Amino acid sequence: MTSLRDVNPRVRAIRVCTQSALLSLSEHITQGAQHPFKEVIDVSSGDSHRAGMKPISFVRQVLAVCLHPQLLKDDSLPLDVRRRAQSFLQACDGESVGSYSASSGLLHVRQNIAEFIMKRDAGVPAYSKNVFISAGAQRALMVIVKLLSSGEGQGQSQTGVLTPLPCPHTLPMLLDEAGVKAVPYRLMEERGWAVDLNELHRAILSSRGRCEPRAIYISNPGNPTGHVQDRKSIQDVIKFAAAERLLLLVDEVYQDSVYGQNREFISYKKVLFEMDEEFRETVELVSFHSLSCATAAECGLRAGYMETVNMDPEVMHFVDTMLCTDISTPVTGQLALDLMLNPPKPGDPSYDTHTQEMLLTRTTLFHNAQRALELLNNLPGMSCQPAMGGIYLYPRLDLTAEIREQAEILGVEADVLYCQKLLEEEGLLVGAGQQGGPTGSHHLRLRILVPPDTLEMVLSRLCSFHIRLMNTDVGRSLTDKDKKENLHQLKS
């Protein structure tokens, strides 16, 4: 069984290599060094503001007033902006965003999150006592995973978490830090990266004797695959989790960015509550959402939440206790999370502007996905499944024997070498894929939530490099000694 823990040294190496090279290139450009590009473009991670996407005005205006309350008297700001800021300040101790909140978050915001969940799920009950705000969804996930792994060692007694391949690029390191063993299950690329029930059974059977599987992690919409599960698929996973007595950890951070034809986001909680009582009242579920992702993309404000379902009250007490170690999530992030989930309503002064900005972001994402997909699938040695949601494409690379030979000499995967060369020659940073797929398969992770003109530059550089690389019989005329010397220079 391939373990995601085995991938972690590779993940760290990729991160160190690419970030170091990125900084080095940026410094060279700043200092006037000559390169065939004027700037480095990073589309390897989910930070869309860094790539030039604009923040939502309503969010920034309300936060500005909260940070500088004198603006409450500024008539140039919309009335609903000032009223929302006033209500937020009244919810803060000392009427200041500079004061701490409870470890699980401001009660005012948690209540609003519960109301959002109820509206989203067509009336399925939600309660603020089951909502925990954290400094990003990853922090919330870490709290739960550490609780699962508490007091456990290595070997058969070690906690296992069923984890998709591919998965969010930060997940392997998170599980490793928590002392949990990842039990990989492969997503079906030929079916648009679908979750396969037979593969789940294979994964859990293969884990017997190696660890104690206690949870299954699901990303829906998929990160980085863009797959969106339908109701039947969600039901199958819930039944599987019930049969195997697994906690469901459901990453739903891209729920507002579904654009695939005839696809809609359906939460795991909603489907669970539509099922028979034996599932509805027994299956334990934790769902995650984040301010960092999709249309809001406020990565730097650091806020997310998790909602627990059917969790023992004593366990929830420990969740709250563990969140205390962070003191509290930044209050500005908590308020921005509220604004993301509870935007202006029809008739509010900010409604039209907010609606136009959100529509522009979603339209950009949809058109970028279509544009990039069409172009990538026309490149030799590259293919890409259509994304139905989320902010990434995950194209597959079918590289030449010469490139694979270079990578083998260097002791890296071929897609890592591809990314290194792409960064050096074109100033474009993309993410390398993850091991664990079919033998010889390699992938790239490419963020598509960027301004359209930036996307055109990304695609132009990527296509130019890819065609040049695939058409060049790399190193064929060199001796083995020359190859090794050149590759050593590249690696350095």
Closest C-alpha to 492, from 408, 410, 431, 399 = 410
Residue-level pLDDT at 187? 96
**Is residue 322 located within the same domain as residue 361?**
no
Per-residue model confidence as pLDDT tens for the chain (492 residues):
334 444 444 444 444 445 555 555 555 555 555 566 778 999 998 888 988 899 999 999 999 999 999 999 999 999 999 999 999 999 999 999 999 998 889 999 999 999 999 999 999 999 999 999 999 899 999 989 988 886 555 667 889 999 999 999 999 999 999 999 999 999 999 999 999 999 999 999 999 888 999 999 999 999 999 999 999 999 999 999 999 999 999 999 999 999 988 899 999 999 999 999 999 999 999 999 999 886 888 999 999 999 999 988 878 777 777 776 666 789 999 999 999 999 999 999 999 999 999 999 999 999 999 999 999 999 999 999 999 999 999 999 998 888 888 888 988 889 999 999 999 999 999 999 876 555 568 999 999 999 999 999 999 999 999 999 988 644 333 344 444 444 444 444
**Is residue 462 located within the same domain as residue 321?**
no
Identify whether 324 is part of a domain. yes
**How many Cβ atoms from other residues are within 10 Å of residue 489's Cβ?**
8
Residue-level pLDDT at 227? 97
Owning domain of residue 385: 4-39+356-491
**Is residue 186 located within the same domain as residue 210?**
yes
Identify whether 413 is part of a domain. yes
Overall number of domains in the chain: 2
Is the Cβ–Cβ distance between 126 and 118 less than 8 Å?
Answer: yes
**How far out from the chain centre does Cα 2 lie?**
22
Residue-level pLDDT at 1? 36
The CB-based long-range contact list for 64-71 (8 Å cut-off, 24+ gap) reads 66/97, 66/332, 66/335, 67/97, 67/332, 69/95
Identify whether 277 is part of a domain. yes
Identify whether 451 is part of a domain. yes
Integer angstrom CA distances of residue 388 from 221, 267, 376, 487: 8, 15, 16, 39
Structure tokens at 400: 């030449």
**Is residue 302 located within the same domain as residue 263?**
yes
Residue-level pLDDT at 30? 53
Domain boundary among 300, 315, 341: 341
Structure tokens at 189: 């690329």
Domain boundary among 276, 308, 341: 341
Residue-level pLDDT at 36? 67
